[in-house]
Structure 1
Amino acid sequence: MTRPIPGGAAPLLDVAVVGAGPAGLATAYTLAGQGRTVRVLEAAGAVGGRMRTVREHGCLIDTGAEMFPGRAGYPATWRLIADLGLDRDPAAVPNVRDALAVWRGGRPRPNAGRPLGLLTGAGLSPRARFDLVRLQARLARLARRGELDPGRPERARIAEDTVADLARPYHPDLYDYLVHPLAAGFFGWDPERSAAAPFAAHLAACGGSHTWHTYRDGMDTLARALADRLDVTTDHPVTRVTGDGDIVRVESPRGTVTARAVVLAVPAPVAARLYDDPRAAAREFLAECGYTPMLRVSLVMDAPPEPARPSFATLIPATADTLLNVITFDHRKHPGRAPRGHGLISLIPSPSGCRELFGEPDRTVAERLIARAGHFVPGLRADPSHVRVHRFRHGLPEATPRALRLRGAFAVRPAAAVEYAGDWVPLRPCSEGAVASASLAAERVRAYLSSPARRPAGAVPAAPRAAADVHSREQR
């Protein structure tokens, strides 16, 4: 039950969560499980954020995230999947077969990121394959020593290094045909300026591409399952968050929502614009959390061309094309992504290509990327039956060495009425970073609301669910 606030205004929530992506929904789910009254406010017309799926022309079109690793790589995500019962049907979370190839020498080289790739080459020379084993061994040693914690990348010995620094001691092929296209294609990062520690921790935790999974019913499956269990209001843009004593006001053209605490589960630049945090550690960290834009073009094909060697995604190194970075054959990810006999292909530009094209009209973006993709996908038609362009101005958080330096103070800041969730909190640009941040945000909100000075008269602290307690302890 919500309580009225003085003056007869709208009921006072325990927590308002701004943002209905995985971070916001997982935070709300955890807090609701602790007995809190929670409402989620989402500016868009649907939940999912950068994991939204559009259903049109008989296709499931994933607008952002495409897949995720197995349980060892994404433990927080898989715990939530199990808690929601999404894995009761094994076919609901299928493995993505033949996931990754790298373009080299005029054709895609399969088995990139798989143990088999060490034998088949996967686009790497024999010396580069040897150096890949050396790099993997180095990352494994750092992980065993606790120096590659995906939740605390600032503690890594390589915290001051860039991704390019990480690859520099090894054969150039390793950088040109694996590290650079991976960092650029899936993180949107510039390896010369982006921090090595989060990238290395992600690789060490997730393992190879043979562990990749997807959701049969679209990448927004997790978000939709969470939203079905929560109080979520869509089409509710938030314009400002302000504190007034023990009450936080969340302002919107649709009206003001009041709560005892608020979680901003939005990109760091948006959070900084909505709320002027009095804590210096929070202000400085948010100001340093830069973002790379995301842009992708999805093509629905009546008669899809097929790659020369079957694979779901092909990395295009900058040595082969500076504008196009990744081609995904989404109908190969799972048969249900497109009607039988049809195809669904996505084109993702490089970071520099994304900056170049982001402000262009949809038609220009599609024409330029389709023209480039024709070189790598023979038979690709310039006039697909349907084109959908997806844009996220705040696509993925880009961790830099300076952001890592500031993150330590941010992580130990005092709990307050306004907290944060999102993949930028651990500087891990993926859905696991978002889901893992939810446990941290919920724990901090619980600590704030349970403090004697802020507990309503006659109230007792809400008892957390055992699962939420386990998640919080594991994140410490």
Structure 2
Amino acid sequence: MSRVPELDVAVVGAGAAGLSAAHELRRAGLTVRVYERSPHVGGRMRSLRHEGWTVDTGAEQLSERGYPATWELLRRLGARPTEVPRVGAGVGVWRGGRAHLGVGEPTAVLTGAGLRPRARLDLAVLMARTGRPTTGDVPLEAGPPGAATLREAAARYHRDLHDYLLQPVAGCFFGWDTARSAAGPLLDLLRENGAPSGWRTYRDGMDHLARRLAAGLDVVTGRAVREVVDEGGRAVLRFEEGDAVTARAAVLAVPAPLVRALRPELPPDEAGFVEASGFTPMLKVSLLLRRPLSPAAGRPVHVLLTPAVEEAELSGVVVDHAKHPGRAPAGRGLLSLLAAPRCVPELLEAPEEEAAGRLTRAAERYVPGLAEPGVVVRHFVHPFRHGLPEARPRALRERPGFLSRPARAVEYAGDWVMLRPAAEGAVRSGALAASRVLSRIGRPLRASGDERGEQSHAAS
């Protein structure tokens, strides 16, 4: 039977991408509803709160640089500077039994930050090569080094650049395998985001932006979409309960592998890029501590990178109470342990107690006092089967065709669309999806003169 649209736009997914798209479309006067299968908004930027601790389950920080769309959105929402304070410490890398500070800082070419003297010279060359102007998209995707993998791009430099910089950064922050991941997007992220001394966090948790956006939107949580189809230029969402909703357009703001599950029959000019957009699984363990503990270093450290050549189980330790003191109650501590990419598939299948135990025992090497009885009050395990998009060379090749496709009833948002595994990529993709929807459907449903009629939840 013919369906009468009850909404202008239905958005699937209440992470940063979906909420950003919905916000832009709502500003344009369209009727928008967001559907989220989990009980909470935020997606990979969700924070949980427990007895005074604020635990960031996924994303950790944002940057003063390289996040123009995010900062514009925050200004529009009325966020005050005090709500997005600077992170309180720097980034170090473990080498030879101790932490070396200054990773990502311009001074690393002088101080070393764990690199040998020859590698520091090569770092200066690498920084010069990636320091050219950017469009804010993926400027290094055309030709070397962008089309090469990180391991291939690093092969021309001293081995330290791969082993004690590119691999630890890619593995800890993104869960990437340097033998698979394209060099361009990561090098561009490092250049755009600038030094860790300019990183910031949300004072009350990394879900701050999602909560602010959701407060002004029609969001339905705990509602799982089973399928999204294009029926004669209208989008039909079918839910797991068997009912359906029809809209003039839909935005799928979910990881690329879930797009394939929701839309089994993708148009050819979409399928190539969607299928090439891989996601890395990730697993993180948060330790609520009776007292603040940190890696031994010359000055406070926010993140300690543990390279694969030094450590088998962990990719890094995040000192959350150094990131912002409000993450833990007064006199307490909070650490986040990130699993090494090679261990994640196994840990995702293991019981939570086993996963937490393995990572905690590994972290005792880097955090003095962590092995003391009773110091860990509680742990939380955060598994992500679709952690972050991994920009691979094939995805770079497929993306131009995907971006040039005509606007359709079903559009997409997510950091994978921008080949940028960060909240900024999600926000930009939301704005892009909104602009494509608006270019196609124009005015709101009521203003266009379309007959609203009765809602039809029955399947055709």
Partner of 1:57: 51
- Is 1:122 the counterpart of 2:124? The answer is no
**By how many angstroms is 1:304 displaced?**
3.0
- Is 1:292 the counterpart of 2:260? The answer is no
Listed one character per residue, the Cα deviations across residues 366-401 of structure 1 (whole Å, up to 9, x for unaligned) are 111111111111210365110100011111111111
SS state at 1:351 partner: coil
Residues in 2 aligned to 1:458 and 1:380: alpha-carbon distance in whole angstroms: 65
**By how many angstroms is 1:169 displaced?**
1.5
Answer yes or no: is the 8 Å Cα contact 2:296–2:366 preserved in 1: no
Partner of 1:280: 268
Residues in 2 aligned to 1:107 and 1:160: alpha-carbon distance in whole angstroms: 35
Structure 1 residues 357 and 188, CA, compared in 2 at 3 Å: closer, same or farther?
A: same
Partner of 2:217: 230
Amino acid at match of 2:107: L
**By how many angstroms is 1:440 displaced?**
0.9
After superposition, where does 1:427-438 map in structure 2 within 5 Å? 427-438=419-430
Partner of 2:294: 306
Answer yes or no: is the 8 Å Cα contact 1:304–1:380 preserved in 2: no
SS state at 2:186 partner: helix
**By how many angstroms is 1:278 displaced?**
4.4
* Long gaps (5+) in structure 2: 451-460
Residues in 1 aligned to 2:136 and 2:28: alpha-carbon distance in whole angstroms: 27
Partner of 2:308: 318
CA-based RMSD:
2.1
After superposition, where does 1:243-254 map in structure 2 within 5 Å? 243-254=230-241
Structure 1 residues 13 and 151, CA, compared in 2 at 3 Å: closer, same or farther?
A: farther
Structure 1 residues 395 and 135, CA, compared in 2 at 3 Å: closer, same or farther?
A: same
Moved over 6 A (4+): none
**By how many angstroms is 1:73 displaced?**
1.0
Partner of 2:75: 82
Residues in 1 aligned to 2:249 and 2:264: alpha-carbon distance in whole angstroms: 15
Find 2:257's aligned residue among 258, 269, 283.
269
Structure 1 residues 428 and 457, CA, compared in 2 at 3 Å: closer, same or farther?
A: closer
SS state at 1:385 partner: strand
- Is 1:184 the counterpart of 2:171? The answer is yes
Partner of 1:412: 404
**By how many angstroms is 1:411 displaced?**
0.7
Partner of 2:18: 24
Partner of 1:112: 103
**By how many angstroms is 1:314 displaced?**
0.1
Residues in 2 aligned to 1:156 and 1:84: alpha-carbon distance in whole angstroms: 39
My pick for the range that moved more, 356-365 or 122-131, is: 122-131
- Is 1:136 the counterpart of 2:136? The answer is no
* Long gaps (5+) in structure 1: 460-476
Residues in 1 aligned to 2:423 and 2:56: alpha-carbon distance in whole angstroms: 14
Amino acid at match of 1:287: E
SS state at 1:250 partner: strand
Amino acid at match of 2:295: P
SS state at 1:306 partner: coil
Answer yes or no: is the 8 Å Cα contact 1:297–1:390 preserved in 2: yes
Answer yes or no: is the 8 Å Cα contact 2:66–2:136 preserved in 1: no
Answer yes or no: is the 8 Å Cα contact 1:307–1:377 preserved in 2: yes
Give the TM-score of the pair, scaled to structure 2: 0.92
SS state at 2:225 partner: coil
Partner of 2:456: none
- Is 1:241 the counterpart of 2:258? The answer is no
SS state at 2:62 partner: coil
Partner of 2:391: 399
Answer yes or no: is the 8 Å Cα contact 2:292–2:321 preserved in 1: no
Answer yes or no: is the 8 Å Cα contact 1:423–1:429 preserved in 2: yes
Amino acid at match of 1:390: H
Residues in 1 aligned to 2:331 and 2:45: alpha-carbon distance in whole angstroms: 26
Structure 1 residues 149 and 85, CA, compared in 2 at 3 Å: closer, same or farther?
A: closer
- Is 1:370 the counterpart of 2:377? The answer is no
Aligned length: 445
Answer yes or no: is the 8 Å Cα contact 2:260–2:266 preserved in 1: no
Answer yes or no: is the 8 Å Cα contact 1:98–1:111 preserved in 2: no
**By how many angstroms is 1:151 displaced?**
4.4
Listed one character per residue, the Cα deviations across residues 415-441 of structure 1 (whole Å, up to 9, x for unaligned) are 000000000101111111111111110
SS state at 2:119 partner: helix
- Is 1:199 the counterpart of 2:186? The answer is yes
After superposition, where does 1:325-340 map in structure 2 within 5 Å? 325-340=315-330
Amino acid at match of 1:78: W
Residues in 1 aligned to 2:90 and 2:71: alpha-carbon distance in whole angstroms: 20
**By how many angstroms is 1:353 displaced?**
1.4
Amino acid at match of 1:164: R
Residues in 2 aligned to 1:77 and 1:457: alpha-carbon distance in whole angstroms: 31
SS state at 2:310 partner: coil
Partner of 1:46: 40
Answer yes or no: is the 8 Å Cα contact 2:88–2:324 preserved in 1: no
**By how many angstroms is 1:41 displaced?**
0.3
**By how many angstroms is 1:120 displaced?**
2.8
Partner of 1:379: 369
Answer yes or no: is the 8 Å Cα contact 1:153–1:404 preserved in 2: no
